[in-house]
């Protein structure tokens, strides 16, 4: 007879896969957990690619993506596909990571079906439910419905307490992205681009919904300005597949020498670029956590962040989407060695690489395994 506890881990996007992978691996090491990976199919190729790096296989794919699908339709399909999946699997707990629509739907579905829900990277908040959109809404819903809240930092823990979550249900674990980063650092391949040894490199990512349109145009123009002012500065820009991003990026940046546009990098290649780059220019959440661990300054192209710890530590700076501000702050890093050193501390406020181990132990204690 099988007395193992069945734990379903749901993943939708590549960042979720990377951050859930250390937890899945730790659960798979145990004798008490049967771990089942369910993919929603939101970023199917990127997701499979990312999990394969860690040797993790998807057991079920909900295959929810339809070209041109609106957010309400995606949400409806997720509810429609996840309900029978959970009824069939009957898990003892469901785990989800972060703040995507998959996470929100998973939390609500578990509430409806009386399944304990564990939220990895719980407690991140901004002051505005619309920023970022829809992620802030998603994580607030997950916070309302979670059974176990795995907060990456003390600040996230405090956010949950302020929201009325019971202290006994919140565990500060660190962020699993640091676990993944340390795991991959030992296995990362050579830099996947031909770049002069003497060149400085800026890693760029840009994809947030709130930055679509004119803000992104300003961001791309700042890249052109910097490239023309600093001939030794090259850009590596893995372009998000969203047509609203990729079409504008191609129109504005593709003809400029020294701007290396490419499809989204697999995780090993991303870690290689992080290790080699000079600084990071991003509106991404994950890179705000990953880059400081490598001692890389982060300029965050957003007006506010749900990850204030890096800003408070001085290893990240909010620069918004204004062309002039981005150019000025990047120039300061490129021209002023002391300013650069003050941000390149090589210290992360997001953990020590043992977050997944702590999460596994808290789940074991809760389930009485």
Q: Which residues are catalytic?
A: 99, 121, 135, 207, 209, 240
Alpha-carbon gap, residue 132 to 136, rounded angstroms: 6
Cβ atoms 161, 146 nearer than 8 A: no
Provide the sign of the torsion angle of the four alpha carbons 299, 289, 45, 67, taken in this order.
Answer: negative
Residue 279 · residue 296 · CB < 8 Å? yes
User: Tokens standing for 70?
Assistant: 């609106």
Strands 233-238, 148-151: pairing kind: unpaired
- Listed in sequence order, the DSSP H helices in the chain are 14-28, 44-53, 71-89, 101-113, 135-145, 154-162, 176-185, 214-229, 243-253, 267-276, 286-293, 308-313, 323-335, 337-343, 355-367
The DSSP H or E segment spanning 261 is strand 259-262
Q: 20 to each of 43, 263, 268, how far by Cα in Å?
A: 15, 23, 16
What distance in Å separates the CA atoms of residue 173 and residue 159, rounded to the nearest whole number? 15
- How far is the CA of 46 from the CAs of 12, 76, 116, in angstroms? 10, 23, 28
The distance of Cα 235 from the centroid of its chain, to the nearest Å, equals 21
**C-beta atoms surrounding 242 within 10 Å:** 11
């Amino acid at each position: 007879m099988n007395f193992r506890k069945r734990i379903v881990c749901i993943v939708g996007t590549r960042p979720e896969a990377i951050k859930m992978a250390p937890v899945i691996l730790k659960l798979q090491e145990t004798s008490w957990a049967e771990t089942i990976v369910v993919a929603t199919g939101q970023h199917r190729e990127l997701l499979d690619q990312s999990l394969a790096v860690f040797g993790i296989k998807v057991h079920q794919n909900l295959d929810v993506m339809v070209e041109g699908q609106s957010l309400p339709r995606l949400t409806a399909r997720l509810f429609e596909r996840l309900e029978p999946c959970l009824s069939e699997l009957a898990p003892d707990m469901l785990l989800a990571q972060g703040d995507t629509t998959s996470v929100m739907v998973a939390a609500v579905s578990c509430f409806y079906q009386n399944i304990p829900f564990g939220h990895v990277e719980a407690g991140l908040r901004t002051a505005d439910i619309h920023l970022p959109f829809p992620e802030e809404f998603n994580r607030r819903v997950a916070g309302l419905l979670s059974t176990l809240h795995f907060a990456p930092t003390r600040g996230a823990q405090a956010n949950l307490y302020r929201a009325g979550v019971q202290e006994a249900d919140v565990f500060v674990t660190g962020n699993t992205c640091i676990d993944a980063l340390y795991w991959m650092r030992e296995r990362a391949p050579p830099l996947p681009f031909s770049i002069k040894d003497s060149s400085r490199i800026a890693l760029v990512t840009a994809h947030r919904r709130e930055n679509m349109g004119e803000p992104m145009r300003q961001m791309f123009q700042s890249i052109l300005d910097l490239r023309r002012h600093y001939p030794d500065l090259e850009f590596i820009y893995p372009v998000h597949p969203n047509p609203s991003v990729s079409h504008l990026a191609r129109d504005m940046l593709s003809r400029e020498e020294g701007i290396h546009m490419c499809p989204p990098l697999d995780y090993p290649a991303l870690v290689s670029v992080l290790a080699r780059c000079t600084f990071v220019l991003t509106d991404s959440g994950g890179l705000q956590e990953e880059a400081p661990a490598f001692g890389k300054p982060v300029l965050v192209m957003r007006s506010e962040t749900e990850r204030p710890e890096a800003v408070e530590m001085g290893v990240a700076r909010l620069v918004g989407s204004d062309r002039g501000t981005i150019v000025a702050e990047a120039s300061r890093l490129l021209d002023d060695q002391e300013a650069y050193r003050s941000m390149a501390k090589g210290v992360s406020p997001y953990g020590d690489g043992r977050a997944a181990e702590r999460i596994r132990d808290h789940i074991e204690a809760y389930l009485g395994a």
